[in-house]
């Protein structure tokens, strides 16, 4: 396993770039190499909450195929796509979401992107699919459009490859937390694995109208594995000095970011960093998050005490404070619940992130 890690650059305690980990996370390696990689992951989770990985094991051809069907799907007429509108079909999360369907940051007026979301599904359906049956809030069948041809197969091929990346990452996160490498294995038998394809139309207007690509939010599963389209800058992260730092797309990489659940598990030592995206490139942009978590019944108990030798160089700001900075408050006692910001909107957990409905 090769490991080339760029150091976490801290400017007055705030990050100003995202570390880059080059590592073959899947291949067997010496315990020393895995420990070294876990150490880098720990540093970046404490200080940034985001990192790039390469050599992740998802073949480029699979990504190219996904890109092709995303382009074909999102260019269908709106009325065709709306036949699978997620609020009218499936479990409520699965299916198509048109532009401005969500508004993740209550300070804004809407998120200018379309999406199509799925949960667990075997490529070759099983008669009794334990994972599907134990899929918590995501239980129930996925819905699939009849066009473009091959959509389901291409989508699911990438989905399962990303699930494998998630499993490998859980092992590294365990090491990064000074836990046995297999710590999460029995907690991730029916892992939450919610995947979405996103299309951001080009946005020429300013954000002053309150329309952004996706408003400032944190993800809420354990972590997200994000493919973002090379060549188009859109994703930004908020550092502790309230500066937006570009997550520049790097060809061949995936972006991994910590979500609220792993942040809470570590008592916010690992940070679930607020992020947003807006596409001002003049051409359409695609991204593919996989929101990855544990089985739905696993209790989240803080295991901070297991940390040894962590120098928590991150600022003291907790998830609660970050939420308050965004105009909301956060109920720390429960993982599966609501966030009630001052604007009178309710943020509801949907798929892998918060969605907002006016109450």
Ligand X SMILES: O=C(O)CCC(=O)C(=O)O
Residues that bind Fe ion (CB under 5 A): 219
CB of 320 to ligand X, least distance (A): 20
Please, what is the Cα angle at 47 between 105 and 241, to 5 degrees? 55
Nearer to ligand X, 23 or 273 (CB): 273
CB 72 within 8 A of CB 153: no
Closest separation between CB of residue 219 and Fe ion, Å? 4
Chain Cα centroid distance, residue 198: 12
* Beta bridge partner(s), residue 288: 227
Identify what 239 binds: Fe ion, ligand X, none; CB under 5 to 8 Å per kind: none
Q: Which does 235 bind (CB under 5 to 8 A by kind): Fe ion, ligand X, none?
A: ligand X
- Which one, 171 or 355, has the nearer CB to ligand X? 355
Closest separation between CB of residue 217 and ligand X, Å?
7
Looking at beta carbons only, is 177 or 195 nearer to ligand X?
195
- In the bound complex, what is the minimum distance in angstroms from residue 277's beta carbon to ligand X? 4
Partner that binds at residue 277, options ligand X, Fe ion, none, CB closer than 5 to 8 Å by kind? ligand X
Q: At what angle do helices 31-47 and 151-176 cross, to 10 degrees?
A: 100
Torsion of CA 243, 247, 248, 253, to 10 degrees: 160
Which pair of structure tokens corresponds to residue 218?
Answer: 């944190």
Residues 228, 237 contacting (CB under 8 angstroms): no
With CB cut-offs between 5 and 8 Å by kind, which of Fe ion, ligand X, none does residue 198 bind? ligand X
Where helices occur in the chain by DSSP H, the ranges are 31-47, 60-74, 78-81, 130-133, 151-176, 260-265, 319-325
- To ligand X, the closest distance from the beta carbon of 196 in angstroms equals 6
Distance of closest approach, residue 291 Cβ to ligand X, in angstroms: 7
Eight-class DSSP state of 66:
H
Q: Which does 350 bind (CB under 5 to 8 A by kind): Fe ion, ligand X, none?
A: none
Q: Cα separation of 194 and 217, whole Å?
A: 17
Cβ distance to ligand X smaller for residue 228 or 266: 228
| Partner from Fe ion, ligand X, none contacting 278, C-beta within 5 to 8 A by type | none
**CB of residue 343 to ligand X, shortest distance in Å:** 20
Residue ranges binding ligand X (CB under 6 A): 198, 214, 219, 226, 228, 234-235, 275, 277, 287, 289, 353
Tell me if 95 sits within 8 A of 143, measured CB to CB: yes
222 contacts: CB under 8 Å, gap ≥ 6:
170, 173, 258, 259, 261, 262, 265, 292, 293, 294
Whichever of 94 and 171 has its CB closer to ligand X, that residue is 94
| Residue 215 interacts with, from ligand X, Fe ion, none (CB under 5-8 Å by kind) | none
Spatial separation of the C-alpha atoms in residues 251 and 248, rounded to whole Å: 10
Least spacing, CB of residue 230 vs ligand X, in Å: 12
CB atoms near residue 142 (< 10 Å): 23
Q: Given the complex with ligand X, which of 256 and 277 has the nearer CB atom?
A: 277
Quick one: what does residue 264 bind among ligand X, Fe ion, none, with the CB cut-off 5 to 8 Å set by partner type? none
Least spacing, CB of residue 226 vs Fe ion, in Å: 8
Spatial distance between the Cα atoms of 94 and 18, rounded to a whole number of angstroms: 31
First to last CA, the chain: 51
Which residue's beta carbon is nearest to the bound ligand X?
287
Residue 183 or 330 having the CB closest to ligand X:
330
Q: Which is nearer to ligand X, 90 or 215 (CB)?
A: 215
Alpha carbons 175 and 167: distance in angstroms, whole number: 13
Nearer Cβ to Fe ion, position 23 or 228?
228
User: Which residue sits closest to Fe ion, CB atoms considered?
Assistant: 219
β-pair type (20-23, 50-54): parallel
């Amino acid at each position: 396993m090769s490991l080339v890690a760029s150091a976490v650059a801290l400017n007055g305690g705030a990050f100003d770039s995202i570390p880059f980990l080059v590592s073959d996370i899947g291949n067997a390696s010496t315990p020393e190499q895995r420990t070294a990689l876990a150490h880098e992951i720990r540093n970046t989770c404490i200080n940034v909450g985001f990192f790039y990985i390469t050599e992740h094991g998802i073949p480029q051809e699979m990504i190219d195929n996904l890109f092709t069907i995303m382009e074909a799907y999102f260019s269908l007429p709106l009325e065709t796509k709306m036949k699978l509108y997620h609020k009218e079909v499936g479990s409520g999360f699965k299916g198509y979401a048109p532009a401005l369907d969500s508004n993740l940051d209550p300070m804004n007026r809407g998120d200018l992107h379309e999406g199509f979301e799925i949960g667990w599904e075997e490529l070759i359906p099983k008669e009794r699919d334990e994972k599907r049956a134990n899929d918590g809030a995501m239980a129930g069948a996925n819905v699939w459009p009849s066009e473009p041809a091959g959509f389901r197969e291409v989508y699911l091929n990438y989905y399962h490859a990303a699930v494998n990346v998630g499993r490998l990452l859980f092992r590294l996160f365990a090491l990064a937390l000074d836990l046995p490498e297999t710590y999460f294995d029995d907690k991730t038998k029916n892992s939450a694995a919610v995947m979405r394809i996103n299309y951001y139309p080009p946005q020429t207007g300013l954000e002053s109208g309150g329309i952004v690509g996706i408003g400032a939010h944190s993800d809420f599963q354990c972590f997200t594995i994000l493919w973002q389209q090379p060549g188009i800058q859109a994703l930004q992260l908020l550092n502790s000095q309230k500066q937006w730092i570009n997550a520049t797309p790097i060809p061949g990489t995936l972006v991994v970011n910590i979500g609220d659940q792993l942040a809470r598990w570590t008592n916010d030592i690992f940070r679930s960093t607020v992020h947003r995206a807006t596409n001002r490139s003049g051409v359409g942009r695609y991204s593919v998050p996989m929101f990855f978590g544990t089985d739905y019944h696993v209790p989240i108990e803080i295991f901070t005490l297991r940390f040894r030798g962590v120098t928590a160089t991150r600022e003291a700001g907790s998830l609660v404070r970050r939420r308050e900075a965004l105009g909301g408050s956060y109920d720390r006692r429960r993982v599966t619940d609501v966030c009630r910001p001052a604007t009178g909107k309710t943020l509801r957990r949907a798929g892998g992130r918060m969605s907002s409905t006016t109450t």
